[in-house]
Amino acid sequence: MKILFLGDVFAAPGRAALKKYLPLLKAEHQPDVVIVNGENSAHGRGISDETAAAIFAAGADIITLGDHTFDQKGSDALLANNPKIIRPANFAAGTPGRGHTVFTTASGKKIMVMQLLGRVFMKTASVTDCPFRTFNALTEDMKLGKDVDAIFVDFHAEATSEKACFFGHADGKASAVVGTHTHIPTNDARIFPKGTAVQTDAGMCGDYESSIGLSLESVVPSYLSAGRHYFQPATGNATLGGVLIETDDKGKAIKIQSLMTPAFTKEK
């Protein structure tokens, strides 16, 4: 199975680049499933009906979210009504939406896609259960290579150390664990000993001449003076960041490749 995963789509530039490049990536690599993190797709914070529709229209099969899941009005209903949009599975009990889904590919294979939220340095830690134990619970009755053909985890976390520990914990139990949230792609794509493909962060789909998606003009002043500062999304050219993963018939990873497209120059 081929799995194409794209990191956090950030605001209008990320959506524009997704619309341009995702069809090209699908034509070139022929993935069985396309997973896109959309938690920053609405003006850099959260997801809306409109931005979710744009991501699906560009070619995504599943949308994952993160700590900004509920930043936009109406997101509760959006998650309740669309099983292909998932929020972190380890949010506290009673949180709207679902934390995982099972997607059936065109060839009939099944992939379990889940998202987990890290707790180290995360503001959402107080309403987040242990991601390690949540992963154990979700995979207790959903075994790789038996109940599903692949298991993909979007691990949305701040600390690279926490991500690394989770890689080791999930090795052999998931086909792939790819980090999101920090928006900068890491040069560490690899396959762990028991067959789990990992990368600490997939990067973002957005304007890289920015502060992780926010305009430098709005962020730099916050380093030079105290007071209230209003951050704004960058509006320049955007690049797609992500990974392509290939698994064998047992759901173990046999290949992982980092992907970065050229910056998309918007038409004037």
68 is catalytic: yes
| CA–CA dist 49, 97 (Å, integer) | 14
Local structure of 173: helix, strand or coil: coil
Buried/exposed code over 80-114 (b: 16+ C-beta within 10 A; e: otherwise): eebeebbbbbbbeeebebbbbbebebeeebbbbbb
R_g of the chain computed on alpha carbons? 17
**Which helix (H) or strand (E) element contains residue 131?**
helix 131-140
Report helix angle 11-29 to 49-58, nearest 10: 20
Half-sphere exposure in the Cβ direction for 17 (13 Å, CA): 30
Catalytic residue among 68, 156, 181, 183: 68
Give, in order, the Cα–Cα distances in Å from 184 to each of 132, 196, 213: 24, 21, 10
* Whether the Cβ atoms of residue 38 and residue 69 lie closer than 8 Å to each other: no
Residue 90 structure tokens: 């380890």
Assigned token pair, 193: 């000993």
Angle at which helix 131-140 crosses helix 160-170, to 10 degrees, equals 20
- Count of C-beta atoms within a 10 Å radius of residue 77: 12
Annotated catalytic sites, by residue? Answer: 68
